[in-house]
Amino acid sequence: MHEEGFKKTCIEEKKKGGGIHQHFYGTWVADFMLRQDAGMFMLGKYLSDNKIPWQQRRQLGMVVARNTPTASFLTTIGKMQSAGCRLCRIAREARGESTDGLADETYGHINSAGCEGMATTVTAAHHSIWRHLYNSMHAAQKPKSKLKFVTLDKKSNMSTLWRREGFLIICSKEDLTEKAQDIDVTIPVQKSEEARYNLDPGSFFVNRFWGRRLDGVVINEALKIGYILEFKRSTDRDEGFLEVNNSQANEQHNSSIIGALKAAAPEWEFEQINFVVGNRGSVVESDFYTKLKNLDVQEGKKDKLFADHVTQVCDVHNWVIVSFLQQVQAGTRPTT
């Protein structure tokens, strides 16, 4: 067995033994940067590119080294007394609420909508990366491709899509409403949805279905195939982040949107295509290139599209960290 094959076998065995939270190569940085099929060569180029401001590269390097100055990290090294999220505390205090039970201020937390101080920034980061990728794939389509990218302007909910004439070729809104009602009623009401449900239980499930938002839609009218595109920006601390997020994305739409579409338009095929990126800059190359092929991206443009995508992910990471640091240093939430 060659060296790389031996390393891969050792890592897989370590995962089976539950030891994935212990570094393999000697340090977390080495483990991360030596991952196979994760775009690390592009991340390495970004970190060593002198044209990119040093502070921006340094902040990304700190994330890779797992020493971003979050409250969780600072508590670990004895610089703070509490790991509770400072931004969530500020938000609660502004509302006059209790600050008990704060979530730990980890790197994952400040990169999620669950952080009250970072939700707006993180959502903007998600949209920025995705719109750049979506528009780039559309621009790089094969000249004779039959695929139609139909959500180029912005993320759209189901109701907005079906007001467009092009979607009526799939099925009528009435037929889709009927099938959606039968399916969505089987999906539990989330805690965040309880107020809307209690206000009007009769129409809640249909309204919830038509309000579901899609990152992207691509249609092949000739072959009657519809692709539902979903984008996830998530933690890539562990190597299995792609599988975890693929599963979450499929669960998000398969049980409701795709299920209703298949029932209302049985002569059409519907497939979900997920794009997953790690917030430290990981992109699984083999998975990414397969998705580009499925969406008729020209072969000669795939490498540049991949490189631009990783660069965009790294640039947007800087926006997120700068927003976090500015808020922590100022002790306030942003006004915009």
Say which residues have a Cβ less than 8 Å from residue 189's Cβ, sequence separation at least 6: 197, 204
SS (H, E, C) 138-203: HHCECCCCCEEECCCCCCEEHHHHHCCHHHHHCCCHHHHHHHHHHHHCCCCCCHHHHHHHHHCHHH
66 vs 74: CA distance, rounded Å: 11
The CA-to-CA distance between both ends of the chain, in Å, stands at 56
Tokens at 238, concatenated: 């562990």
Q: In tens digits, what is the pLDDT along the chain, a chain of 336 residues?
A: 454 554 455 556 555 555 545 544 457 788 878 888 888 889 899 999 999 999 999 999 999 888 899 999 999 999 999 999 999 999 999 999 999 999 999 999 999 989 999 999 999 999 999 999 999 999 999 999 999 998 766 667 888 888 876 788 899 999 999 998 888 888 888 888 888 888 888 889 889 999 988 888 999 999 999 999 999 988 887 777 788 777 777 776 667 889 999 999 999 999 999 999 988 888 999 999 999 999 999 999 999 999 999 999 999 999 999 999 999 988 754 444
Answer whether 273's CB lies under 8 Å from 227's CB: yes
217 vs 150: CA distance, rounded Å: 6
Maximum CA extent, the chain? 64
Angle at 64 between CA 331 and CA 328, to 5 degrees: 0
pTM over 0.85: no
Angle at 246 between CA 113 and CA 235, to 5 degrees: 45
Say which residues have a Cβ less than 8 Å from residue 179's Cβ, sequence separation at least 6: 259, 260, 263, 264
